[in-house]
Amino acid sequence: MYSGIIYALVEVFFITFFATLILNVIMIKLGKRGLLSNLYPNVRGGTPRGVGVILFIILSLYLPWGFNQLVLVMGLCALIDDIMGRRKISQNIQWGQLFRGIGMILVMLIGFYHGLGISSIFIALLVQPVNISDMQPGSTCIVTLIISTMVLVLMLIFNVGMVNEVAAFYTPLLIIVATLAYSPLDFAGKIMLGEVGNHSLAIALGISFYMLGGLKAILIFFVITTLLIAFVRRNTLKSYFGIKMGLTNPVFCDYVMDVLTGGGLGDLIRRLIWKNKQPVVKNNFLIFLGARRFLYNPAAHRTDFIQYRD
């Protein structure tokens, strides 16, 4: 059994490593010719986006049967998200947001079908924090490696057994090996995971949490993952808050709220609830809990922002 796992992981490493290099070269050539649109944004002079499709394919093929279907449906919807970009269906909704939502619903439905129950909901919801982590080079990879290593160690300590006739520790090991093989160019800022990459990693992480200890493990590691992402991104978020929101004195819970509710979907919900109004938070306890970021409504600040300065 162990020899088969070792062979599979070695295979995964080399396939992922070389496929990432090759796809990067191809996308650069096509991008410079203007053939990739949203998949080759003008970031750092032009950076291939969606190279995480390699991770999507690997995880869909190598995860234990049944669980791999969760990554498959989420990754396909996320790939459409990457291709469609910020094209709008209506004034408030983008095609990418629609397909992300469809993917998350499908993950929940398939999860329930395979007996994961309520756990499938939280596996799908992991897409949000992991997606927010993917806002700077290497951040999602480092979070994925740290969290997967924690899960692996706990599986070995508690001697978690077989899942679908495969050793449970194989799943976090697979995530670690695939991420390590993909990550060098991502850490260097030469490629981007895209939604297809970070969404696939999010679902794979959720699956590993479930294998560790069901719903209880998912809830615990959902919190740990969110806090780690907030910590990893704290410096970038502090700068962003000051420039975009006028929030120059953020607390750590503001970073946590950004991880949990930031991005297009969170902004859409706030816009639908508050229209063009901005709730103002003055209560110190609510400020401590991150309510200023949680309630921040971009639709209310087309030309300026609320003054949360010292």
Please identify, among 232, 256, 287, the residue that sits at the C-terminal boundary of a domain.
232
190/280 same-domain check: no
- Give the span between the Cα atoms of 292 and 103, in whole angstroms: 30
Q: Extract the tokens encoding 113.
A: 């079908």
Q: What is the pLDDT of residues 240-261, one digit of tens each?
A: 898 888 888 999 999 999 999 9
pTM attached to this predicted model: 0.92
Same domain as 201, residue 97:
yes
Residues 203 and 271 in one domain: no
* Domain co-membership, 66 together with 174: yes
Size (the chain), residues: 310
Q: Tell me whether residue 307 is in a domain.
A: no
Q: Do 59 and 138 belong to one domain?
A: yes
d(CA 167, CA 86): 41
Three-state SS for 45?
coil
User: Could you tell me if residue 44 is inside a domain?
Assistant: yes
Residue 305 inside a domain? The answer is no
Tally of domains in the chain: 2
Q: Is 243 inside any structural domain?
A: yes
Closest CA to 69 of 51, 56, 81, 80: 56
If you compute the radius of gyration of the chain from its CA atoms, what whole number of angstroms results? Answer: 20
181 and 194 housed in the same domain: yes
Q: Does some domain include residue 122?
A: yes
Q: Do residue 224 and residue 257 come from a single domain?
A: no
Residues 188-245: tens digit of each pLDDT: 999 999 999 999 999 999 999 999 999 999 999 999 999 999 999 999 999 989 888 8
CB 21 within 8 A of CB 54: no
Same domain, 226 and 252: no
Per-residue pLDDT of the chain (310 residues), as tens digits, is 688 899 999 999 999 999 999 999 999 999 999 999 889 998 888 899 999 999 999 999 999 999 999 999 999 999 998 988 777 777 667 777 788 899 999 999 999 999 999 999 999 999 999 999 988 899 999 999 999 999 999 999 999 989 888 999 999 999 999 999 999 999 999 999 999 999 999 999 999 999 999 999 999 999 999 999 999 999 999 998 988 888 889 999 999 999 999 887 788 788 888 888 888 899 999 999 999 999 998 888 754 444 433 3
Note whether residue 310 is domain-resident: no
Residue ending a domain, choose from 211, 232, 253: 232
H-helix or E-strand containing 183? helix 170-187
**Residues 270 and 176 placed together within one structural domain of the fold:** no
DSSP E strands in the chain: the ranges are 162-163, 166-167
User: Is 261 among the domain residues?
Assistant: yes
| Whether 188 and 264 share a structural domain | no
Domain membership flag for residue 289: yes
Residue 118 and residue 41 share a domain: yes
H or E, element range at 263: helix 263-274
Tokens 């190598």 correspond to 62
Domain end residue (candidates: 232, 262, 282): 232
What's the domain range around 274?
Answer: 236-300
Instruction: Identify whether residues 164 and 243 lie together within a single domain.
Output: no
